[in-house]
Amino acid sequence: MDFSDFEVIDPIAEFGHESSDDEDAQPPYANLQGGHPPWQGHAGKLVGVVDMGSDAITSNGIRLSISDLSSPLARMLPTVYQYRASISLYDSQYDPETGDQIPIPDDVIESVVSVLSRFVVICEDFQCKKENIHVIATEATRAALNSKQFLAAIKDKTDLTVELLPKEEEGQIGALGIASGFSDMEGLVMDLGGGSTQITWMLSSGGQVRMSPKGSFSFPYGAAALTKKLHDLRDGKKKDEADAAVKA
């Protein structure tokens, strides 16, 4: 196959950091009364990430973590804190009686805001700066009928800005994460989420990652989405609807 048009991506150049003279200096920590113990690393290199996925059971709900980016050459970044909130943004958007799509309910929005607010406090305990907290949302938030209102509520209550990943970029980031676990790889990478599935063709060799400049292809068929379709068919949907679901 001809891969000459593939874009070369250097993960270190894209996501690494510039070194400084005080790289080995230990940060001064406040004497915390309770809460989480301070991370004995480089406070300025701690990054908090929130992955707002689609489904709490078949996917990963809302995942929150704090990682240490001190080492510019580490393939696997040390995780100093992680937590998963079992909140299904996908299931909450469908009426249990009719199966029709509805806006994300207010109580679910309040639960998400509560989890994010708690995470901000935890980041403060670890001396992770608020500007180093990144909140990422994917298919369930993209497809929500009240997506703009949902994101606005999070911003208003927590002062956190949610980054809504485009479908193509979501697949690329997932592929880079998989590539970091292998020295060399070539082929298709499939990221099965709750609301969608991303497929990316990539080459990884000698520390360089190549993938198509067109990005990834996203299918609106994640684990939660397919489970719902099967439940709908089991519950007696019309034959033409069943045939349409199979053809899709």
The number of domains in the chain is 1
Whether 14 is in a domain gets the answer yes
pTM for the whole thing?
0.65
> Among the listed ranges 19-33, 52-66, 144-158, which one has the minimum average pLDDT value?
19-33
Q: How far apart are the first and last CA of the chain?
A: 29
pLDDT, residue 200, reads 83
Amino acid making up residue 236: G
Whether 51 is in a domain gets the answer yes
- Select the more confidently predicted residue: 198 or 54: 198
Whether 153 is in a domain gets the answer yes
What is the three-state SS of the chain? CCCCCCEEECHHHHHCCCCCCCCCCCCCCCCCCCCCCCCCCCHHHEEEEEEECCCCCCCCCEEEEEEECCCCCCCCCCEEEEEEECCCCCHHHECCCCCCECCCCHHHHHHHHHHHHHHHHHHHHCCCCHHHEEEEECHHHHHCCCHHHHHHHHHHHHCCCEEECCHHHHHHHHHHHHHCCCCCEEEEEEEECCCCEEEEEEEEECCEEEECCCCCEEECCCHHHHHHHHHHHHCCCCHHHHHHHHHC
> Among the listed ranges 8-12, 102-106, 107-111, 153-157, which one has the minimum average pLDDT value?
8-12
pLDDT in tens, 110-158: 999 999 999 999 999 999 999 999 999 988 898 899 999 999 999 999 9
- Select the more confidently predicted residue: 185 or 72: 185
pLDDT, residue 38, reads 54
pLDDT, residue 64, reads 93
pLDDT band at residue 49 using 50, 70 and 90 as cut-offs: very high
pLDDT in tens, 190-233: 887 777 788 888 888 877 888 877 777 777 777 777 777 777 77
pLDDT, residue 24, reads 42
Q: What is the arithmetic mean of pLDDT over 86-114?
A: 90
- Percent over 70 (pLDDT), the chain: 73
- Select the more confidently predicted residue: 147 or 168: 147
Whether 245 is in a domain gets the answer no
Whether 26 is in a domain gets the answer no
Whether 167 is in a domain gets the answer yes
Q: Domain holding 77: CATH number?
A: 3.30.420.40
pLDDT, residue 189, reads 82
Mean pLDDT, rounded, of the chain: 77
- Percent over 90 (pLDDT), the chain: 30
Whether 2 is in a domain gets the answer no
pLDDT, residue 237, reads 59
> Among the listed ranges 3-12, 50-59, 90-99, 217-226, which one has the minimum average pLDDT value?
3-12
Which residue range(s) make up the domain with 72?
7-21+31-237
Whether 246 is in a domain gets the answer no
Q: What Cα–Cα distance (Å) separates residue 195 from each residue in 2, 70, 91, 96?
A: 32, 34, 10, 17
